[in-house]
Amino acid sequence: MVNLLGLDLDAMVARLDVLQEKRFRAIQLFRWIHRAGETDFSRMTDIARSLREKLQGSYEVRALPVLTEQCSADGTVKWLFDVGDGNAVETVYIPESDRGTLCVSSQAGCAVGCRFCSTGHQGFSRNLSTAEIVAQLWWAEHRLRARLNLGQGERAIDNIVMMGMGEPLQNFAAVVPALRIMLDDHAYGLSRRRVTVSTSGVVPMIDRLGQTCPVALAVSLHAPDDTLRDHLVPLNRKYPLGELMSACSRYLEVAPRDFITFEYCMLDGVNDSDDHARRLVALVRGQSPESGQTVPCKLNLIPFNPFPASGLRRSPKERVLAFARSLQAAGIVTTVRRTRGDDIDAACGQLAGEVLDRTDVGSRLARDVFPIPVVAAR
């Protein structure tokens, strides 16, 4: 069975072409699935019966099984989805006054292994398929529309950040069609400026993203020099800061926004001193030994969300604010991410998802601690 949630419009058109159906039929089908949230071909009333019969048996619209849905007092909602073989991934909805953001996962686990990230500590299980990535949005959008009593044409989610579990640029082939579905006017119709890929710095894939499907880009920096970044983000040994900053400059030539968002997780005594702030300014200004050019950017400071195995501590609030002030004094727009959904463990970097005991699904339900980044910059 082909899961239609995994097909972008071009792929849908190609599939229907094989069934000798015209492009407009593919558009109708695509709209039923993504706009109306319909899974049952027999209820797609304006689609010819002959096509519905051709679809039946070989094609389906298959959502992901929901293991848990948790709602925070602040309106944040977190879903834990079963992706089979003892793996689970998380998706978080964060309502804000002017928008609704969905934080989407791209992999079960992650191979990058950042020191401060609980997904990284879990190791890598597997890539999600396009259908599994889109299913997170499909489910959240239609579930929230019903729950929030939204009218025809209103949407719950107008901002997406690929900041859940996994490194999206290490699952490029599945992520790009998913981005196309998010952007497609016949599906979710999101603006390129409101779909953000967050990466730990997979340099060649930053270039490919720019060539294939430019959307907003967030880069997880966390350190102003290679020695420290090698330690915190092991991928830096392969793609050091100089190459990363050059890739950011190239990306800006095609990006829908005129800045890169740099994320910086604030770790007590590790990367949070005044000297680190000073060197960070030099880095993005192209004045550090490691960087060659100025990269127009915004800095997003994320207070570290601790988990036991990390052995790291969150920087004190005053330190985060002092760090933010020194960046601001140097003219860099800086925000401190507000943690949302604290009461349901929906905060950045506490990713759950992975299944703790592969033999016992129940244990996962009881212990859903995992890292989900929550973007609520002010």
- Asked if residues 368 and 345 have their Cβ atoms less than 8 Å apart, the reply is yes
Stretch that binds ligand SF4, among 111-119, 253-261, 322-330, 354-362 (CB under 6 A): 111-119
Q: How remote is the C-alpha of 329 from its chain's centroid?
A: 30
With CB under 6 A as the contact rule, the residue among 349, 354, 364, 376 that binds ligand SAH is 349
Least distance to ligand SAH from the beta carbon of 346, Å? Answer: 12
Write out the two tokens for 242: 């100089």
Structure tokens at 319: 């330190």
Q: What single DSSP character describes residue 123?
A: -
Nearer to ligand SF4 (CB atom), residue 44 or residue 108: 108
373 binds, among ligand SF4, ligand SAH, none (CB under 5 to 8 A by kind): ligand SAH
Min separation Cβ 138 and ligand SAH, Å: 21
Length of the chain: 378
| Closest listed residue to residue 141, CA positions, set 96, 99, 100 | 100
Amino acid identity of residue 77, one-letter, is V
Q: How many CA atoms lie within 13 A of 356 on its CB side?
A: 12
Residues 193-222, mask of contacts with ligand SF4 (x by CB under 6 A)? -------x-------------------x--
The verdict on whether 318 is a catalytic residue reads: no
Residue 305 binds which entry of ligand SF4, ligand SAH, none, with Cβ cut-offs from 5 to 8 Å by kind?
A: ligand SAH
Could you say which DSSP state residue 190 is in? Answer: -
175: number of CA atoms within 13 Å, CB side? Answer: 31
Sign of CA dihedral 18, 24, 29, 30: positive
Q: Is 348 a catalytic residue?
A: yes
Q: Which of 6, 166, 210, 353 binds ligand SF4 (CB under 6 A)?
A: 166
Catalytic residues: 90, 348
Q: Which residues of this protein are in contact with ligand SF4, per CB under 6 A?
A: 110, 112-114, 117, 119-120, 166-167, 200, 220
Q: Which residues of this protein are in contact with ligand SAH, per CB under 6 A?
A: 116-117, 163, 167, 198-200, 220, 263, 265, 302, 304-305, 348-349, 371, 373
